[in-house]
Amino acid sequence: MKTKADALKAAFPHTIPVLTGFIFLGIAYGITMCEKGFGVGWIFLMSLFVFAGSAQYVAITFLTSAFNPVYAFLMTLMVNVRHLFYGISLLEKFKDFGRLKPYLIFGLCDETFSIVCSTNPPEGVDKKWFIFFITLLDHCYWVTGSVIGGIIGSLISFNTKGLDFVLTALFVVIFVGQWKSNRDHKPAVIGVLGSLVCLIIFGQSHFIIPSMIVILAALMLLPSLPKYRDYLNNSEINKMQTDKEELR
């Protein structure tokens, strides 16, 4: 129990930005669901068992229109396809997590992935439970915010235009936090430039998947660039030495 308590205490401070964002974002989602006629119970179950962030917003349309399973599958895949890349990058990290692994896979979201990849547990804190509690806390924040939003929406009626901007604001906060905490800004620059280029080429509705592919390819090539430069430099030095020997 002490091991788990220490891991929970160590994990909580890292999730405070997500707490702030998810509470407001969850409230916005809960209010929107309530305006479409869904009660607090349905909102709670959706956030507890689906926990898909932006896909849950998209699901509101599916739930309030004629059901088309093929379209729903393709749209959900398009919205959350980035999780394929998240999962691939965490295969090694989650390899020995045993019974915790299924929940960590289910609970993985953009914000949790960001924290898990950029944060290491303090000395003496179990890594498995540290990551588990980061995932669990983020999940709880989202469920709590959604339920609060459902309750507010059932009691008060008001204009909900602009509430979905909370998601964008959350991503900006996390990005700024990572920029300040890491000296190496190359991945962030690659992400921003890759997204901008794909946005210009493919347009606002179709840039997500191409940008993820471009970013993944660039990040995979990044570690090999110094080695390639060293190879070129060594080749050039060897060539110069060979030319000198031939001149002699």
Query: 125, 158, 180 — which closes off a domain?
Result: 180
Q: Residue 197: is its pLDDT beyond 80?
A: yes
Q: Examine the domain organization and report whether 29 and 125 are in the same domain.
A: yes
Q: Examine the domain organization and report whether 191 and 161 are in the same domain.
A: no
Q: Examine the domain organization and report whether 55 and 132 are in the same domain.
A: yes
Q: Examine the domain organization and report whether 191 and 145 are in the same domain.
A: no
The b/e string for 52-87 (b: 16+ C-beta within 10 A; e otherwise) is bbbbbbbbbebeeeeeeeeebeebbeebbebbeebe
Q: Examine the domain organization and report whether 92 and 195 are in the same domain.
A: no
Q: Examine the domain organization and report whether 168 and 238 are in the same domain.
A: no
Query: Using one digit for the tens of pLDDT, what is the confidence trace for 221-248?
Result: 776 555 544 544 554 444 445 444 554 5
Percent of the chain with pLDDT over 70: 81
Q: Examine the domain organization and report whether 196 and 103 are in the same domain.
A: no
Query: Using one digit for the tens of pLDDT, what is the confidence trace for 11-64?
Result: 999 999 899 888 988 998 898 888 888 999 999 999 999 998 778 877 887 888
Structural domain tally of the chain? 2
- Measured over the CA atoms of residue 203, residue 208, residue 210 and residue 211, the dihedral's sign is positive
Query: 156, 180, 204 — which closes off a domain?
Result: 180
Query: 180, 207, 225 — which closes off a domain?
Result: 180
Long-range Cβ contact pairs of 215-223 (< 8 A, separation 24 or more):
215/190, 215/191, 216/85, 218/190, 218/194, 219/187, 219/190, 222/186, 222/187, 222/190
Domain of 232? Answer: 183-248
Query: Using one digit for the tens of pLDDT, what is the confidence trace for 200-219?
Result: 998 877 777 787 788 778 87
Q: Residue 117: is its pLDDT beyond 50?
A: yes
Q: Examine the domain organization and report whether 103 and 219 are in the same domain.
A: no
Q: Examine the domain organization and report whether 7 and 45 are in the same domain.
A: yes
Q: Examine the domain organization and report whether 64 and 171 are in the same domain.
A: yes
Q: Examine the domain organization and report whether 170 and 213 are in the same domain.
A: no
Mean pLDDT calculated for residue range 177-188: 74
Q: Which of 184, 31, 23, 34 is nearest to 111 (CA)?
A: 23
Amino acid at 151: I
Q: Residue 146: is its pLDDT beyond 60?
A: yes
Cβ atoms of 198 and 66 within 8 Å: the answer is no
CA-to-CA distance for 16 and 138, rounded, in angstroms?
9
